[in-house]
Structure 1
Amino acid sequence: MVKVIENKNSLTVTDNRTGKQYQVPIEDNSIPATAFKAIKAPRAFNEREENETEKGLRVLDKGFLNTAVIRSTITYIDGDAGVLRYRFPPRIVYVPTQFLCPYLLIYGSLPTAKQLKNFEYEVIHHGVVHSDAAQFFRSFRYDAHPMSMMISALAYLGSYYQEANPSLQGQALFTAGSPESLANMDRQIFRIIGKATTLAAMAYRVRQGREFVTPPTGMDYTTSFLYQMDHIGEEDYTPNPVLAKALDTLFLIHADHELNASATTVLQTGSSLVDPYSAIAAGCASLYGPLHGGANEAVIRMLISIGKPANVPAFLEAVKKREKVLSGFGHRHVVDLLQSDPRSFIVRKTADEVFKVTGKDELLETAMALHEAAMKDEYFIKRKLAPNVDFCGLIYRAMGFPLDFFPVLFAVPRVAGWLAHWRQMMLQDGRVQIWRPRQIFAGASKREYVPVNEREAVEGLKLTPSTIEHSGISKRSMLATFGREKGIGAKL
């Protein structure tokens, strides 16, 4: 006898522990994880109480491999099909208006000429930072990584705006949806986008040992950015328009990539109703890592280590033996820029335009050789390590940016995407709930306390602190005596 399912748009789950069946609703090809809390069973004999079997099933998903955490209307990615969509119909790929993309991402519709002009005005005129920022940036070491400075600067920025802090102004500061609340939110959005290039340029100039430049008026976003980085007093200084346009193009492509690690970090942090500056700083910290925004830098360093195309076969063999790391391959949600993705034509065309001005980067041939060799190798094909030739990194390198500045060039445009997701969460239906994932506790259940004189030493690299090699000054200090201590080995 065939059982009739009342709701065909559902998942029927049979718990073989109890024999019970449960219907889990399917909506938008997804199931609510909380529905599994209803699937309860008595704790089995000798089963750990920490499993909490009587409280229902938990869903284990290491690294969010197949977990949706929010409903969004901002960006759609299908890496296999080469699709990246910012609220756009697929046929629209590039519009040469720098402020249209962030406006669309954040507010959800294409602006009128008046709306776009107002948005552009507000962002540009919020680019200036407090004069104290100069002292803040000069407090860093001369060789500090620019992303460390960028992360710190974004958090520091929030200390200036008490009206942007829900801890001071009330939890409903950005969630109320009132005209006053929305205006306050917009003000912070203007400030963060406007100051992103200013902070990035200041981080750049710290490394160059140069004085800081006040954002100029009368220039577009990326031209102003280049001006702030490179101007050293020349009269009527104007950055190269080809380079400014290239930067604008790459900024558009990098503006948002759905719920990647950094966007998720912004939402995770923002769910506590912290101020937006702290949330964006947290996203920037997430972007810093070599598996995310640091990937551009890592790929170029890898290509430099390979050198010539003739060295590619030996490098790939070393990768197979796990002697080398293949950066930029197999990245989750990467849209391969050598597929039929419409962006590929834009990026490669941009690369050609930049190379005409700067000269072709010699690593291009190495990158292409690496791509072609990996695409033909069964080892990489079976493991789905799809290569992504980093034309963006090659363009940045050709433009003369230092490698450790690449993640900053990723962070500046991504600010718009982060803010779009943050704003969407603040204004979602229902209250904002703090993101609090569960864990599977695998530690010891209960242990008796053992007095110190009765304990046996626990050995093992992962079980005990490492022995640290100290510098000469530490050794001398550790051998010194002071105060009432006498003899060798008086410790600090």
Structure 2
Amino acid sequence: MDAKTGSNTKTGTLTVGDQNWSFPIYQGTVGPDVIDISKLYAQTGMFTYDPGFTSTGSCESKITYIDGDEGVLLYRGYPIEQIAEGGDFLDTCYLLLYGELPTSEQKLDFVKRVTNHTMVHEQMSRFFQGFRRDAHPMAIMVGSVGALSAFYHDSTDISDPTQRMIASIRMIAKMPTLAAMAFKYSIGQPFMYPQNDLDYATNFLQMCFAVPCEPYKANPILSKAMDRIFILHADHEQNASTSTVRLAGSSGANPFACIAAGIASLWGPAHGGANEAALKMLAEIGSVDRIPEYIKRSKDKNDSFRLMGFGHRVYKHYDPRAKIMQQTCHEVLKEVGINDPLLDVAMELERIALSDDYFIEKKLYPNVDFYSGITLRAMGFPTDMFTVLFAVARTVGWIAQWKEMIEDPAQKIGRPRQLYSGATRRDYVAEGKRK
């Protein structure tokens, strides 16, 4: 039954004093019921107050579903574990964009369309020279992605479905190229052009780690790990950056500007920067024998130390992505021959978190950020590139959510309200008469 047009729509009653109002209750295909309060102000003259929007549904979506209590993540109904095991990233991109897994013919056509857009306008290389060499790669990404709208005017008319799809393909194809350029620029190496005979993940590694003066061949284990990391981060429902993309898009802004806004939101340490913070925490602990000291500190409310990489805003159970990321981490470390002491720290912390009553009671399970930082470091990426890789992966989710929002006839421009607690009306006082 459709969430909004089903014949068996329930209603809920709001009672304030001796007045009553009824509001429809919708039921999705899975998940909790949703009370439609869109007419609350019109009927009652009141707003809801919900800091962080933790109990507010801002849209109807068919893309991603999370059950935080059970530790479930579904892309278009498919469990993330099955997609990561049996699919690849462009399979995932097609699924998120179109709603179904591609046939062999559809996959071939989709890969060809993405591959044909991997290069960026040659003037973009000169655009990069305007940044300082020590600029954070995420700062470069915000600027360069936003600048794409100045280079690709033929895909910024959001009212045209064809232009929307061209923009979508361009963003998925060009984001790895821009990310690799940001990396190369920060380390003073020449840009490497994409090679369209390589798969998506391998091409990205080639652009990041190859140099013109010698041949480069990506390790297939690392390519598979990169592809899996992209899959795990492709979408995650209405998180901060996705909501930012939708909010920016609701104003009619062009898709490149919307994605740039999403990247800016992702940059925050409480969002995309969490894996970097988790790695720094493991480095601070340093060795297994120091773990009891830090576990004790983490339980002390008066201590500023916090365990990073544990718990999640949505998941109240084991993050399903963390299990896959743990396996990937072991595969990468074994392949590159690194005995990373931080992995020993991570494994012991995980063991404690899954058996300690304090962590179990507070449902502080390891999340995907817990292992991804170690994995990416072993692959050769510096910590300031971690969030950039997150942005490369999340681009398809942002684009799919943006496209769904544009095509939703019920969508309106975002306009949250507020609980005002400032000064009441008062008269302006001329400068000479102010006390």
> Does 2:418 match 1:427?
no
Aligned equivalent of 2:372: 392
Change (3 A) 1:258 1:335: farther
SS at match of 2:39: helix
- CA 1:223/1:383 → structure 2, altered by over 3 Å: closer, same or farther? same
Q: Take 1:213 and 1:37, find their aligned partners in 2: how far apart are those partners?
A: 55
CA distance in 2, matches of 1:154, 1:370: 38
1:226-263: CA deviations, max 9, x gaps? 11111112554211111011000111111000110010
What is the distance in 2 between the residues matched to 1:305 and 1:362? 12
**Counterpart AA for 2:429:** V
Which of 183, 186, 189 in structure 1 is aligned with 2:162? 183
Task: State the one-letter code of the partner of 1:75.
Answer: T
SS in 2 for 1:25: strand
- Corresponding position of 1:34: 38
Q: Find the partner of 2:237 among 258, 269, 280.
A: 258
How big is the shift at 1:426? Answer: 1.2
Instruction: Quote the Cα distance in structure 2 between the aligned partners of 1:329 and 1:441.
Output: 35
Gaps of 5+ in 1: 1-6, 41-55, 166-172, 176-180, 457-492
Q: How does 1:21-100 map to 2 (within 5 A)?
A: 21-28=20-27, 29-40=33-44, 56-90=45-79, 92-94=82-84, 95-100=86-91
* Partner residue of 2:94 out of 103, 122, 135: 103
Report the TM-score when normalising by structure 1. 0.80
Aligned length: 417
- Alignment partners' CA distance in 1, 2:105 and 2:355: 52
Instruction: Give 1:418's aligned amino acid.
Output: W
Counterpart pick for 1:174 among 153, 158, 164: 158
Counterpart check, 1:314 vs 2:318? no
Give the equivalent residue in structure 2 for 1:483: none
* Residue 334 of structure 1, CA deviation: 4.1
Which 5+ residue runs of structure 2 have no aligned equivalent? 1-7, 28-32
Quote the residue 2:173 is aligned against: 194
Partner of 1:332: 313
SS in 1 for 2:22: strand
1:124 aligned residue (111, 115, 118) = 115
Residue deviations 1:55-112, cap 9 Å, x none?
x111111001110011100001112211111013448333333311000101111212
For the residue of structure 2 that corresponds to 1:424, the secondary structure is: helix
- Conserved 8 A contact 1:15-1:39: no
TM-fit CA distance, 1:448: 3.1
Contact 1:336 1:388 in 2 (8 A): no
**Closer/same/farther in 2, CA of residues 237 and 415 from structure 1, 3 Å limit:** same
- Say if 1:127 and 1:191, in contact at 8 Å, map to a contact too: yes
Distance 1:185 1:8 in 2: 34
Task: Give the CA RMSD over aligned residues.
Answer: 2.1
The structural deviation recorded for 1:115 is 1.5
Q: Is the 8 A contact 2:322 2:371 kept in 1?
A: no
Mapped to 2, the partners of 1:184 and 1:35 lie a distance apart of 34
CA contact under 8 A between 1:360 and 1:398: conserved in structure 2? no
Q: How far is 1:187 from its partner?
A: 1.1
When Rg is computed on C-alpha atoms for both structures, the one with the higher figure is 1
Once the two structures are superposed, residues 129-171 of structure 1 have per-residue CA deviations (whole angstroms, 9 ceiling, x without a partner) of 1111111112211111111111111001111122233xxxxxx
- Describe how 1:240-389 pairs up with structure 2 within 5 A: 240-319=219-298, 320=300, 321-334=302-315, 341=320, 343-358=321-336, 359-377=338-356, 379-388=358-367
Residue range with higher mean Cα deviation, 356-365 or 187-196: 356-365
Partners in 2 of 1:313 and 1:402 — Cα distance? Answer: 29
Question: CA 1:382–1:345 in 2, change beyond 3 Å: closer, same or farther?
Answer: closer
Deviation, 1:336, is 5.7
Matched residues in 2 for 1:136 and 1:110: separation? Answer: 37
Q: Deviations over 1:374-404 (max 9, x none)?
A: 4555554554444436122211111121011
Which residues in structure 2 correspond to 1:136-215 (within 5 Å)?
136-165=127-156, 173-175=157-159, 181-215=160-194
User: 1 CA distance for matches of 2:90 and 2:37?
Assistant: 38
Contact between 2:12 and 2:22, CA under 8 Å: does it hold in 1?
yes
TM-score (norm. length: structure 2): 0.90
Query: Is 2:83–2:92's contact at 8 Å kept on the other side of the alignment?
Result: no
Amino acid at match of 2:381: F
| Distance of 1:292 and 1:219 partners within structure 2 | 31
Matched-pair contact (CA < 8 Å) for 1:83–1:335: no
Which amino acid in structure 2 is aligned with residue 357 of structure 1?
E
Partner of 2:5: none
What CA distance in whole angstroms lies between the structure 2 residues aligned with 1:218 and 1:164?
26
Larger mean CA deviation between 110-119 and 93-102 belongs to: 93-102
> Deviation digits for residues 297-319 of structure 1, max 9, x if unmatched?
11101111111122222223333
Please identify which structure carries the higher helix content.
2
Distance 1:164 1:345 in 2: 39
How many Å apart are 1:26 and its aligned residue? 1.0
Deviation at 1:372, TM superposition (A): 3.4
The one-letter code sitting in structure 2 at the alignment partner of 1:403 is T
Distance in 2 of aligned mates of 1:31 and 1:335 = 23
Contact 1:267 1:421 in 2 (8 A): yes
Q: Percent of aligned pairs with the same residue?
A: 41
Distance 1:349 1:375 in 2: 17
> CA distance change for structure 1 residues 372 and 417 in 2, over 3 Å: closer, same or farther?
same
Q: Which residue of structure 2 lines up, in the alignment, with residue 415 of structure 1?
A: 395
